Amino acid sequence: MSSPTEQLIEDVAAVYFGAIGAATKRGVEIDDAGERGSAAEVVLKGRLGAALHRLNPYIPHDTIEEVARILSRPPHPTLIQNNRWFHALLTDGVEIEYRDAKTGETRGGRARLIDFDNAAANDLLVVRQLSLVGPSGKVIRPDLTVFLNGLPVVLIELKDPTDTQANLGVAIDQLDRYMQAAPDLFVPNLVLVVSDGMLTRVGSITSGRSRFVPWRPLDDDGGGAPTLEALIRGLFEPRALVDYLRTCVTFEEDERGEIAKKIAGYHQFRAVRKARASVLTHLKPPSGEGDGRGGVIWHTQGSGKSLTMLMLAGALIREPRLTNPTVVMITDRNDLDDQLFDTFAAGRALLRQAPVQAESRGQLKALLDRAAGGVVFTTIQKFAEAHGVVSERANVVVMADEAHRSQYGFVEGGARWMREALPNATFVGFTGTPLERDDKNTIHVFGEYADVYDIRQAVEDGATRPLYYESRIVKLKVDEEGARAAEEQVEVFVNAERSGRAPEDRIRVTLESLVGAHERIERLAAFIVEHWDKRRAAMEGKAMVVTMSRDIAARLYEAIRVLRPEWHDPDDERGAMKVVVAGTADDPEPLRSHVRTKAARKRLAERFKAPADDLRLVIVCDMWLTGFDCPPAHTMYLDKPLAGHNLMQAIARVNRVYGDKPGGLIVDLLGLADQLADALATYTQAGGTGEAVRNVQDEAVPAMQAAFEKLRGFFHGCDYEQALDAAPGAVLPVYLRAIDHVFGQNDGWKRLRTLVKELSAAFALAVPRPETEAITPHLAFFQRAVAMIRKRLADDSSGGAGHARQRDIDAAVRQVIGGAVDADEVIDLFAVAGLEEARLDILSDEFLGRVAALEQKNLALETLRKLLSDQIR
């Protein structure tokens, strides 16, 4: 039953739907008009039949009725299988065979369910509070059900924005209960929506809570609020809806047969539409009058860039103006080609064909000569094998992954030859890293930005997880002169990285000798073992160690093996630790034992990506640092000097969304904070605006002290300080009295949470100022009191999610009580960046501005509150 406020939101939604041409009715009106035979029917058969006759006037009536019967009889045992089956019918039609009334001949074809050419001609109806009876007899009543030609393609569950208990997570859980009670309703489903009017999220029938993402206005470059109005106007406008249905949905089936339905977020839908329009605008003659520069799509790593590329390719394949185009996918390395190819192969239904990998320039030419078009994968190196024209066709679209100067070599490298080989093609560049300010060559090939989705937007939307930085420099005992020389070597190395040049051999060899010294490898192994043991105890997941060379990777493995022999196993199907590097049979031991075939490396990737697999730790050098997607990975040990886009690509391996994973941790073992700050300066659109430097700690100390006094006032009349120095046996009664004190006040629990959050945020920013020392035991008490109340409430509700949440809270509290604040070494990743607009921390909205310059190289900020906030999922 809807609350009065929910009914108001329904009324407002009806107005928005009316503005885009959709009719709105109440469920009782539908039933009174006889549009359903019973409350168990999920399809409005009269509307479906009318649409089928309108869209397929040449098909006999009895065939139309047979199509309707096919739609009402899903053939598969599971909902997701039937949803995939039904989606194919929505996009491609129902295969039919009928007898021509005039000639008597038997004809074949497909009956269309949707009018994609004239979207406004489709019957778009929104039904409020439609009652449905499931197979078990349970009655459900979704708030809004959107029917397209009589088929229920969207469910919208609304919540009261004034009810703090009725959040969007509760709405998602309610949709899941609907799915269990009435699965037939979800067979034709396109998307699921939850909203309280101001906040709106969309997901698919296989999306967990963490995969429901905000939907922002498509014309606002991500700056607008994710309101219900933004969704209705942006997605449900008839042309947008059928476009999304046909181009922005894909199903991926893994080796275990599990199917995931993946739908585009607003930024992906926006990019597909913008890029397609840009391609059509810039087509060269005779297809158009443009210059062949289709634009650059900058979508930050981890935000679904590969999926966006797949969806754009599918949209271009179906574009009538291109007339059977060939889409050429280009990467700069074979491993990236394989990774992207696997994504496209899994989504081949969206492409209406299987993609093909061109193994040679000759095969590439043959594939481009095919009049039927297709999707062809190749590497930039194919264009360096010889000069001359490969194809003069104008309906060729080249999509280049990681399109920036240092990768492709635009002046004398493959990109120049690529343009010569495909003189009439249109080029679209995709990148997870922004173009450099002076990069005129990339713009010359691909054009200006067509769409941008930067780090700030991705983290705010939950498309990626925040990253945190921890400095744990593993040093060598060298004299002062040697230390200066080593620092100079690192600086030269990263400067070369930053400019895209390979460091000189003498620099690399010298630096590798320092980084790979035997004593340092042993100390590094001991640190990783101790640190990873603690990380695994707190949170299940995977970790990557990035080393400077293959030799260092192999020797580090041996050093860790000595400390944790149980992690080792020579069988690739077993073992908790592996080295993943390229090599040959001629490599010396211990490196040679880690050299594998391409197929064997692929199998290791499958193991590492599988959450339940025992393979938890991988040691890499160059492989798996770009284009490798492993959502369970949450920790990266970085022992390789990187800078610029190479650094950002590497650390993005641990920013993927996965369950309740709060973020990824980057453990810097070499001292790369400055390089990270430099790289981040170009990673948000607002970067480099020259805003004034502010000393965060100077502002945090008075804020901390003020928050502390508020909490002392809150506990007036309750002598909680007895617990700070009491014997263990006397501590618990003090906590119990404090908890009673909390619940004895109006809104006491809510006020306590707010006050503790304020103090925790300010305390974290004020570390390592001496003023924090006296407050530390008090904060420990406050946070433990909050944790105990959360546990009691979770126990009362008997919720499994509450118990999982409690483990996270307990871990955070232990950080405080155990004195885990290391003021000299632990800092927030984006605090180091020093950019107000790039601020991606989870402490508070006030944590902005540049970190003040400190004498020590390892800046000091702390992230102990990361799992305590209710807003973090």
306 near 652, Cβ under 8 Å?
A: no
By three-state DSSP, how is residue 136 classified?
Answer: coil
Question: Any idea what DSSP says for residue 866?
Answer: T
Joined tokens for residue 66: 């047979």
For residues 98 and 194, state if they share a domain: yes
Q: Is the residue at 711 inside a domain? A: yes
Q: Is the residue at 64 inside a domain? A: yes
- Asked if the model's pLDDT at residue 801 lies above 60, the reply is no
pLDDT of residue 220: 64
559 near 524, Cβ under 8 Å?
A: yes
For residues 637 and 772, state if they share a domain: no
Which H or E run includes 533? helix 518-538
Q: Is the residue at 867 inside a domain? A: no
pLDDT of residue 551: 94
pLDDT of residue 690: 26
For residues 580 and 705, state if they share a domain: no
**DSSP, residue by residue, 430-441:** EESSPPPTT-HH
Q: Is the residue at 437 inside a domain? A: yes
CATH number at residue 386: 3.40.50.300
Beta bridge partners of 201: 194, 214
Give the residue from 549, 550, 555 showing the smallest Cα distance to 524.
Answer: 555
Q: Does 659 or 711 have the greater pLDDT score?
A: 711
Q: Report pLDDT digits (tens) over 38-65.
A: 999 999 999 999 999 999 999 999 999 9
* Averaged pLDDT, 813-829: 32
Question: Could you list the residue range(s) of the whole structural domain that residue 646 is in?
Answer: 474-670
For residues 343 and 208, state if they share a domain: no
Q: What are phi and psi of 153, to 5 degrees?
A: -100, -15
- Asked if the model's pLDDT at residue 538 lies above 80, the reply is no
Give the residue from 387, 450, 395, 448 showing the smallest Cα distance to 419.
Answer: 387
For residues 337 and 192, state if they share a domain: no
For residues 180 and 276, state if they share a domain: no
Q: Report pLDDT digits (tens) over 510-527.
A: 677 778 888 889 999 999
Q: Is the residue at 847 inside a domain? A: no
- List C-alpha distances in Å: 303 to 307, 463, 473, 864, 873: 9, 5, 30, 26, 17
Confidence band for 681, pLDDT divided at 50, 70 and 90: low
- Tokens 């700030």 belong to 456
Joined tokens for residue 570: 């020579």
285 near 393, Cβ under 8 Å?
A: no
Q: Is the residue at 842 inside a domain? A: no
Q: Which residues, in sequence order, are CB contacts of 615 under 8 Å at separation 6+?
A: 542, 575, 576, 577, 578, 604, 607, 608
pLDDT of residue 647: 83
Q: Is the residue at 389 inside a domain? A: yes
Q: Is the residue at 332 inside a domain? A: yes
pLDDT of residue 832: 35
pLDDT of residue 189: 98
The residue length of the chain stands at 873
For residues 236 and 324, state if they share a domain: no
Q: Report pLDDT digits (tens) over 615-664.
A: 999 999 999 988 788 989 999 999 998 877 788 888 888 888 887 777 78
By three-state DSSP, how is residue 224 classified?
Answer: coil
Beta bridge partners of 148: 124, 151
For residues 404 and 533, state if they share a domain: no
For residues 512 and 433, state if they share a domain: no
Confidence band for 20, pLDDT divided at 50, 70 and 90: very high
**What pairing do the DSSP bridges indicate for beta strands 144-148 and 124-128?**
antiparallel
For residues 508 and 401, state if they share a domain: no
Q: What are all long-range contacts of 520-524, with beta carbons under 8 Å and residues at least 24 apart? A: 520/474, 520/475, 520/476, 521/552, 521/555, 521/556, 521/559, 522/559, 523/474, 524/474, 524/556, 524/559, 524/639, 524/669
Q: Report pLDDT digits (tens) over 352-363.
A: 999 999 888 889
- Asked if the model's pLDDT at residue 349 lies above 60, the reply is yes
For residues 621 and 484, state if they share a domain: yes
Q: Which residues, in sequence order, are CB contacts of 487 under 8 Å at separation 6+?
A: none
By three-state DSSP, how is residue 478 classified?
Answer: coil
Q: Does 850 or 794 have the greater pLDDT score?
A: 794
Last residue within a domain, chosen from 247, 275, 306: 247
- Number of compact structural domains in the chain: 4
For residues 17 and 55, state if they share a domain: yes
- Asked if the model's pLDDT at residue 198 lies above 80, the reply is yes
- Asked if the model's pLDDT at residue 313 lies above 60, the reply is yes
How many C-alpha atoms does 337 have within 13 Å on its Cβ side? 21
- Asked if the model's pLDDT at residue 344 lies above 50, the reply is yes
